[in-house]
Structure 1
Amino acid sequence: MKLMKTGLALAAGMLLLATPASYGWNEGGGEQDEAMHLEPDAENGMDVYEVCSACHLPEGWGTEDGTFPQLAGQHRTVIIKQLSDIRAKNRDNPTMYPFALPREIGGAQSIADVAEYISRLPMNPEPGVGPGDNLELGAKLYADNCVRCHGDNGQGMPDKYYPRIQGQHYKYLVRQFEWIRDGKRRNANPEMVEQIKNFSDEDMVAVMDYVSRQKPPADKVGPPGWINPDFD
């Protein structure tokens, strides 16, 4: 695998991982800022993504049961931030953490590269959706609480690191919403925590069910059964 590793990058990466991050929601710094300003190499990103594909699948579509999210089509800025947060121990993900270390995927350049590659992958046309029995409530809750940051169709805002949530698996959405609401996700946007703190479980299920049915633009979606030719 062609990984862009140097002794300096490894040393810097391990230094970042040695101490839990002290920054909050999005103060930046460290690998996040470095990766944001690097010119991405999608070809190297494909090589780096080979490590990720074991869980997120070669297509980046994740799993319908919500164990692994869909990454395909996510904003490059969001991927860089979340991967940097996991490496800096600002977001807890014990399953992913060992595979995100610099010795596995390289330094900031590899973060920039794999984020670019993932952002170009076509999205799953058939993501997991919710039960569909309270969509009217879900639509109202979304309009009243979520549109300002995530957009009218869940498209997010890449310049503010707000993720694309359209096309994401329902069960993953519910788990992350619950963790953010209940204070279990340490790198959550504090404005969102405040916004949803009084949501009941019924509210949560309704709004995430609604979100799971939001459709990405047609040019972002792959055909049913698409197989990533990069990993044939």
Structure 2
Amino acid sequence: MAAEPPDSMGQRMQACATCHGKEGRATNSGYFPRIAGKPAGYLYNQLINFRDGRRQNATMAYLLDHMSDQYLMEIAKHFASLDLPYPPAQTTKAPAATLARGEQLVRHGDASLGVPACASCHGAAMTGVAPAMPGLLGLPHDYLLGQLGAWRTGMRRASLPDCMGEITRRLSPQDVVAVATWLSSQPVKRGLPVGSLPAQPTMECGSGFR
């Protein structure tokens, strides 16, 4: 008789691999994010949001429907603990002007639009900030576009003040493309979040909590 598989979180989370890839590393489909190594607080908040309907995804809602807050935190901590290699950057040979605009917005923002740098909340290395601010590197271009678009149209929302919604509405569609293009073109040597930001973010934001 075949031995029963071990009852571990890694074994229980095999169902997640269908969309998020082996060990949560993502696949090359372009529409699902890497979840391995993301801050536990961020992953937990998103699981709660999917379960309770604040984020819309029928498959996620179905999978999480009867899970307790405690078990969702166990799932979040499991994936957050995975320090795994990243694949090469997905986006290559993008137009230089697009990359330059994307890097400007990510690293410095645009004062004329009232848009702070992405790095001011997500960290200078763009790998996230514990306990609940996600990294933005190592994500597929199409996924980044989809999420920025969802913030922009209100399909994705955060606890007030919803700074991501406000920021994305100040950006042009071309700027959104530039940000997604630059982020998805950057290699990731080590993607774990940092422990804190060197200074207070320049914009009050509830996104790190929900």
1:203 aligned residue:
175
1:90 aligned partner? 54
Aligned mates of 2:44, 2:103 — CA distance in 1: 30
Contact 1:153 1:215 in 2 (8 A): no
Larger deviation: 56-65 or 137-146?
56-65
Within the candidate set 164, 184, 194, 1:192 is matched to 164
Read off the aligned partner of 1:113 and give its amino acid letter: E
Superposed displacement of residue 155, structure 1 = 1.7
Asked if 1:79 corresponds to 2:40, the answer is no
Distance in 1 between the 2:29 and 2:14 partners?
Answer: 22
Q: Judging changes above 3 Å, is the alpha-carbon distance between structure 1 residues 219 and 137 closer, same or farther for their aligned structure 2 residues? A: closer
Q: Secondary structure at the match of 1:113?
A: helix
User: Which portions of structure 1, spanning 4 or more consecutive aligned residues, are displaced by more than 6 angstroms?
Assistant: none
Give 1:149's aligned residue.
121
Matches within 5 A, 1:117-128: 117-121=78-82, 122-128=84-90
How many angstroms does 1:109 deviate by?
3.1
Q: Which AA in structure 2 matches 1:107?
A: S
Q: Deviations over 1:18-73 (max 9, x none)?
A: xxxxxxxxxxxxxxxxxxxxxxxxx7422331221222122312233322211111
1:56 to 2:17 alignment = no
**CA apart distance, 1:85:** 1.0
What is the alpha-carbon distance in structure 1 between the residues aligned to residue 163 and residue 87 of structure 2?
31
Q: 1: distance between equivalents of 2:31 and 2:140?
A: 10
Equivalent residue for 2:103, pick from 139, 144, 152: 139
2:72 maps to which residue?
111
1:176 to 126, 142, 147: 147
User: In 2 relative to 1, CA 59–128 (structure 1 residues): closer, same or farther, beyond 3 Å?
Assistant: farther
In 1, are the aligned partners of 2:103 and 2:179 still within 8 Å (CA)? yes
TM-score, normalised by the number of residues in structure 1: 0.67
Give 1:127 shift. Answer: 4.7
Displacement of 1:166 in angstroms is 1.3
1: distance between equivalents of 2:69 and 2:85?
25
Distance apart, 1:126 and its partner CA: 2.3
**Which structure 2 segments of 5+ residues have no match?**
110-115, 193-210
Q: Report the CA distance between 1:219 and its aligned residue.
A: 7.4
1:213 aligned to 174, 185, 201, which one?
185
Question: Aligned Cα RMSD in Å?
Answer: 2.4
Aligned mates of 2:64, 2:18 — CA distance in 1: 13
Distance 1:207 1:171 in 2: 12
- The one-letter code matched in structure 2 to 1:86 is F
- Give the superposition deviation at 1:130: 6.1
Question: What is the rounded CA distance, in whole Å, between the counterparts of 1:78 and 1:198 in structure 2?
Answer: 24
Instruction: Decide whether the 8 Å contact of 2:127 with 2:137 is kept in 1.
Output: yes
Question: What is the match of residue 101 of structure 1?
Answer: 65
Match of 2:91 in 1: 129
Runs of 5+ unmatched residues, structure 1? 3-42, 221-232
Could you tell me how far 1:216 is from its partner in structure 2? 3.5
Distance, in Å, in 2 between the alignment partners of 1:100 and 1:125 is 28
Matched residues, number: 176
Change (3 A) 1:99 1:131: farther
